[in-house]
């Protein structure tokens, strides 16, 4: 299974630059990982590079289809706090 | 070597940067450095009235996370660092730069500042620099960086004549850094906590040292975060000065919750203008920059303005730029500007000599606004009130007052309150008036989240003026007039089209005469405290 980029991607190019397999390219709306080229960085690095540099929580799914960086894991903002601000119409 | 000269000559003190004389901080630099920065609007308070800059957004990727940044944000209507409308390829960036340089001949500086970290995008950033150094050798190139990749990039930067680099350094203590940077991408891993901050800080310091060794001018940006690095920034200033940075730019944290940054969302407050000024003053003998407008990573034009909309990709595609011809025009326009600046300087010096000869005192300070100096000193009429100040002498112990000014430039109070996109904030005391910063109005952002027409923005604009006791503009409408008064801010339209500093001194003298200076601000309006 390959890693995958979701619609949360902000097109920052960072993952494309660090992918050891050149598996990532700019797609129509977000960057896209070519499943056939993704090696999950096995043999190159201990951890998947795209997931290690991506700044957006939930933008990259691992080989199990789970968010590699779940809500709160990168910014430190509790997901509950985001929900409150969304409910208040602030975010 | 450079280090030594800066230390020897730049020690006149940041408290004198914009007060006590008409000199701006650039005048205090050694000649060799002054020549290199005198046409750089971001480095010289005086130059930013004459010369324009632009940023090209070719660098989207970043290798660290800062708690004041949200990588998801992209808004056409907002003005702050890290925000852009349109990402460019290096080829597009070069085309845009040539188009802008041909249309705005006073554009002297091209910077790559984001929206991510330029040196985390080395291929795109350096390709842009390489093409520009070939095709537009008359444009100065700059780059700003968080410093993590800097030591690896120094030699390549040198190849493209990048002789100005800005490093953002918010801490030199990893314990404090860890409260600002949640993670860095380093050695193919995401690293967190104090360990990560320690690496980032070491890389920043190493990069700074390498640049100084090679004679590159380094400015350091720091974001002032109350309760996190406020006290610590004095130490940062001391360290970077000792290493040879030539300018320190302490900027206030921007922390609106709707921006979705960690600090914004978690309720970290921004510093008050007073806190910012106090810290800048406390940074002792480092050259401090006080006219930064915290602009977007794709801003175009004079500081404080953004003409980016005129140069979108769609628009520049239609332009056919003859850069060789443009370069001749640019050289001519810039030579005219220089001639005018030299003339103004001589004029001001002469006037100052005359004033000194007349009574041995300098009347007021002008923050490098030489035109304003010239107008105010050569026209006796607007000087009456300020003259009285001079003759009678205000008691030295009077408290200082912050005043806001709406101006379109030329050193005049010539803008309607409702049209102002930003206000200049002055600190006025018996010793004179000095510019301590600029604040953007709520109107500056017209995006969908918190923005709207002028009326809706009014409470936010008034809130933004918190701490100011008077706002001077050419006109104020009835509604804002009432609301300003209710907020404890005196609207003043009596000095329309008059030079700023004499008007401020006149208003200050009136405040003194009315007894208003006997009361402190918090007693009057209870608003000196920071917003949460």
Residues A77, B265: C-beta atoms closer than 8 Å: yes
- CA-based diameter of chain B, in Å? 69
**Which residue in A has a C-alpha nearest to residue B260's C-alpha?**
A91
Identity of the residue in B67, B71, B124 whose CB atom sits nearest the CB atom of A55: B71
What's the CA gap between B524 and B489, in Å, rounded?
Answer: 10
**pLDDT per position in chain B (532 positions), as tens?**
333 333 332 332 222 223 223 345 566 667 777 777 777 777 776 777 788 888 888 999 999 999 999 887 665 555 556 566 678 999 999 999 999 999 888 888 899 988 899 999 999 999 999 999 999 999 999 999 999 999 999 999 999 978 789 999 999 999 999 999 999 999 999 999 999 999 999 999 999 999 999 999 999 999 999 999 999 999 999 999 999 998 899 999 999 888 899 999 999 999 988 898 889 888 866 677 777 777 766 777 777 667 888 888 888 877 788 888 888 999 998 888 888 888 877 877 776 666 556 543 434 444 443 333 333 333 333 333 333 344 347 888 888 899 999 987 777 898 888 888 888 899 898 888 888 888 877 654 443 444 444 456 788 888 888 889 999 999 888 888 888 998 899 999 999 888 888 899 999 999 988 888 887 654 444 444 333 3
The closest alpha carbon to B250, from B217, B273, B216, B227, belongs to B273
Q: Which residues of B89-99 are buried (b: 16+ CB within 10 A; e: fewer)?
A: ebebbbbbbbb
∠ Cα B363 B369 B371 (to 5°): 90
Give the start-to-end residue ranges of the domains of chain A. Answer: 1-91
CA distance B126 to B485: 53
Taking Cα atoms as reference points, which of B326, B87, B502, B176 lies closest to residue A12?
A: B87
The H or E element that residue B370 is part of is: helix B370-378
| DSSP state letters, B288-319 | B--------TT-EESTT---GGGG-HHHHHT-
Report the residue of chain B nearest A17, measured CA to CA.
B121
pLDDT at B432: 85
- Supply the DSSP string of B93-132, one letter for each residue: HHHHHHHHHHH-TTEEEEEE--BS-GGGSHHHHHHHHHHH
Q: Please, are residues B507 and B473 in contact by the beta-carbon 8 Å criterion?
A: no
Are A14 and B60 in contact (CB < 8 Å)? yes
Domain A1-91 has what CATH class? Answer: alpha beta
Contacts of B5 (CB under 8 A, 6+ apart): B30, B32, B33
First to last CA, chain A: 34
At residue B186, what are phi and psi to the nearest 5 degrees?
-145, 135
> Which residues in chain A touch residue B63, judged by CB atoms under 8 angstroms apart?
14, 53
Structure tokens at A56: 């957006």
- B363 secondary structure, DSSP code: -
Please give the interface size between A and B, counted as residue pairs whose CB atoms are below 8 Å apart. 74
pLDDT of res. B376: 38
**In the prediction, which pLDDT does B297 show?**
67
Closest by Cβ to B258, choosing from A53, A76, A90? A90
Quote the pLDDT of residue B448: 41
Nearest residue in B to A86, CA atom:
B258
Q: What pTM does this model have?
A: 0.73
Q: Which helix (H) or strand (E) holds A26?
A: strand A24-26
Beta carbons of A9 and A18 less than 8 angstroms apart = no
Please give, one letter per residue, the 3-state secondary structure of B407-458. Answer: CCECCECCCEHHHCCEEEEEEEECCEEEEEEEEECHHHCCCCCCCCCHHHHH
Residues B72, A74: C-beta atoms closer than 8 Å: no
Q: Is B509 left (phi over 0), alpha (psi -120 to 50) or beta?
A: alpha
**Distance (Å, whole) CA B462 – CA B481:** 10
**Both structure tokens of B308:** 């980016």
Minimum distance, in Å, between the CA of residue A50 and any CA atom of chain B: 10
Q: What count of residues does chain B have?
A: 532
Is B186 an interface residue toward A (CB < 8 Å)? no
Query: Looking only at Cα atoms, what is the longest distance across chain A?
Result: 47
B123 contacts in A (CB within 8 Å)?
17
For B403, the 3-state DSSP assignment is: strand
Residue A60 in contact with residue A51, Cβ under 8 Å? yes
pLDDT in tens, A33-83: 999 999 999 999 999 999 999 999 999 999 999 999 999 999 999 999 999
Report the C-alpha gap between B369 and B361 in whole angstroms: 19
Contacts of B532 (CB under 8 A, 6+ apart): B267, B269
Output the CA angle B417-B419-B425, nearest 5 degrees.
55
- Own/partner contacts of A17-21, CB < 8 Å, gap of 24 or more, are A17/B61, A17/B120, A17/B121, A17/B123, A18/A49, A18/A50, A18/A52, A18/A53, A18/B185, A18/B188, A19/A49, A19/A50, A20/A44, A20/A45, A20/A49
CA dihedral B56, B154, B291, B50 (to 10 degrees): -60
To which residue do tokens 């925000």 refer? Answer: B83
Q: Which residue has the higher pLDDT, A17 or B478?
A: A17
The whole-number pLDDT of residue B155 equals: 93
Structural domains present in chain B = 2-144+221-324 (3.20.20), 362-525 (3.30.420.130)
**Most A CBs within 10 Å, among B59, B72, B85, B448, to test the A interface:** B72
Interface of B with A in 450-509 (CB under 8 A): none
- Residue B189: its chain A contacts at CB < 8 A? 46-47, 52
């Amino acid at each position: 299974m390959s890693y995958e980029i979701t619609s949360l991607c902000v097109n920052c190019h960072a993952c494309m630059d660090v992918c050891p397999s050149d598996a990532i390219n700019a797609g129509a709306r977000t960057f896209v990982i070519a499943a056939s080229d993704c090696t999950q960085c096995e043999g190159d690095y201990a951890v998947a590079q795209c997931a290690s540099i991506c700044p957006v929580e939930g933008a990259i799914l691992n080989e199990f289809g789970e968010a590699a960086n779940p809500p709160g894991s990168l910014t430190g903002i509790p997901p509950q706090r985001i929900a409150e601000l969304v409910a208040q119409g602030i975010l | 070597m450079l280090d030594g000269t800066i230390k020897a000559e730049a020690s006149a003190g940041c408290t004198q940067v914009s007060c006590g004389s008409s000199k701006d901080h650039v005048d205090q630099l050694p000649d060799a450095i002054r020549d290199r920065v005198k046409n750089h609007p971001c480095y010289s308070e005086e130059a930013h009235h004459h010369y324009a800059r632009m940023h090209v957004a070719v660098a989207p990727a970043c290798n660290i996370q800062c708690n004041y940044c949200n990588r998801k944000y992209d808004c056409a209507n907002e003005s702050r660092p890290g925000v852009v409308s349109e990402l460019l390829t290096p080829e597009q960036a070069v085309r845009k730069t040539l188009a802008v340089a041909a249309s705005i001949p006073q554009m002297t500086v091209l910077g790559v500042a984001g929206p991510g970290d330029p040196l985390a995008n080395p291929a795109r950033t350096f390709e842009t620099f390489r093409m520009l150094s070939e095709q537009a050798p008359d444009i100065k190139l700059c780059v700003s960086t968080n410093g993590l990749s800097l030591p690896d990039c120094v030699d390549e930067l040198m190849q493209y004549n990048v002789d100005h680099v800005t490093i953002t350094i918010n801490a030199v203590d990893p314990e404090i850094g860890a409260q600002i940077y949640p993670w860095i991408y380093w050695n193919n891993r995401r690293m967190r906590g104090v360990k990560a901050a320690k690496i980032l800080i070491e890389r920043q310091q190493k990069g700074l040292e390498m640049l100084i060794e090679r004679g590159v001018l380094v400015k350091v940006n720091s974001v002032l975060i109350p309760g996190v690095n406020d006290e610590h920034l004095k130490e940062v200033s001391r360290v970077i000065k000792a290493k040879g940075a030539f300018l320190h730019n302490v900027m206030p944290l921007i922390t609106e919750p709707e921006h979705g940054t960690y600090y914004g969302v978690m309720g970290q407050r921004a510093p008050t203008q007073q806190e910012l000024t106090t810290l800048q003053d406390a940074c002792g003998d480092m050259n401090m920059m006080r006219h930064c407008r915290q602009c977007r990573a794709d801003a175009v034009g004079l500081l404080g303005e953004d003409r980016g909309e005129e140069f979108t990709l769609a628009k520049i595609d239609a332009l056919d730029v003859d850069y060789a011809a443009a370069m001749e025009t640019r050289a001519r326009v810039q030579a005219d500007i220089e001639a005018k600046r030299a003339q103004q300087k001589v004029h001001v010096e002469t006037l100052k000599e005359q004033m000194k000869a007349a009574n041995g005192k300098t009347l007021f300070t002008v923050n490098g606004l030489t035109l304003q100096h010239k107008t105010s000193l050569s026209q006796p009429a607007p000087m009456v009130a300020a003259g009285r100040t001079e003759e009678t002498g205000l008691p030295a112990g009077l408290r200082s007052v912050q005043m806001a000014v709406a101006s379109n430039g030329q050193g005049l109070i010539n803008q309607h309150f409702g049209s102002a996109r930003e206000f200049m904030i002055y600190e006025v005391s018996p010793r004179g008036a000095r510019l301590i910063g600029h604040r953007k109005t709520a109107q500056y952002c017209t995006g969908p989240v918190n923005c709207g027409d002028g009326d809706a923005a009014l409470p936010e604009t008034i809130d933004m003026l918190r701490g100011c006791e008077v706002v001077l503009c050419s006109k104020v409408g009835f509604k804002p007039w009432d609301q300003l008064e209710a907020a404890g801010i005196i609207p003043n339209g009596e000095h329309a089209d008059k030079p700023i500093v004499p008007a401020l001194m006149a208003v200050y003298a009136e405040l003194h005469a009315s007894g208003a200076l006997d009361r402190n601000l918090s007693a009057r309006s209870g608003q000196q405290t920071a917003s949460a």
